[in-house]
Structure 1
Amino acid sequence: MSRFADILERLAATIESRKGADPESSYTAKLLAGGIDRPAKKFGEEAVEAVIAAAQGDQAALASESADLIYHWLVLLTASGVSLDDVAAKLEAREGVSGLAEKAARGK
């Protein structure tokens, strides 16, 4: 397993374990207690910050903002009841299919 996949699994498990925890003792629990809106908003904010870092050519900031983005993405998935396996299934279904063909099949 790659280093990235390993940390992703551990982080997802940690986030899952924070469901129902005291929001005063855990930032993750606070995000999850806020329903879907709060994690969705934070994910969007982090995406913008990652884009800005990339546009500025700041590799260190992009790596940092990407870590924030991935964390908030995992919180958003957890809040939405979507697992990493659900995402993996979508990726597997697209594997070996031209990106242009896959996008055309979705009508986008």
Structure 2
Amino acid sequence: MDDLTARVRAFAEERDWQQFHTPKNLAMALAGEVGELVAEFQWLTPEQAGAVVSDPEAGGRVQAEIGDVMIYLTRLADVLGIDLKEAALAKLAEVAVRYPAEDVRGSAGKR
């Protein structure tokens, strides 16, 4: 993660884009990219969605959109000074307490 963060930061700095990379702008860009990723799955059956990466054209688009999402998320976390790995691990620990495996196995219900 540190290497990716450094590369994304350098990419922005080389283009003097830091001035545009406010948390608000990055969050909005991230939401837009997530929307583009969602659009790749719109109207697909569960089976088609599960096999999307086996289609060279559609799979390539999905991979590119996931890359865009990761880049914007990485940049947003960097600008805010948030360690993505630590944030994810903390959230996973929190959710594990809220949803103990023995209580929720096989259920998609919210608590």
1:93 deviation in Å? Answer: 4.0
**TM-score, normalising length from structure 1?**
0.62
Partner of 1:75 in structure 2? 75
**TM-score, normalising length from structure 2?**
0.61
Matched letter for residue 10 of structure 1: D
Q: What 5-or-longer segments of structure 1 have no aligned partner?
A: 1-7
CA distance in 2, matches of 1:75, 1:11: 9
* More off after superposition, 77-86 vs 88-97: 88-97
Partner of 2:6 in structure 1? 13
Are 1:15 and 1:75, in contact at CA under 8 Å, matched by a contact in 2?
yes
1:97 to 74, 88, 100: 100
* Greater C-alpha Rg: 2
Runs of 4+, deviation exceeding 3 Å: 15-19, 92-103
- RMSD over equivalenced CA pairs, Å: 3.2
Label 1:101 to 1:59 Cα distance change in 2 as closer, same or farther (>3 A): closer
CA distance in 1, matches of 2:64, 2:24: 23
Q: Percent identity?
A: 18
- Greater length-normalized contact order (CA 8 Å, ≥ 6 residues apart): 2
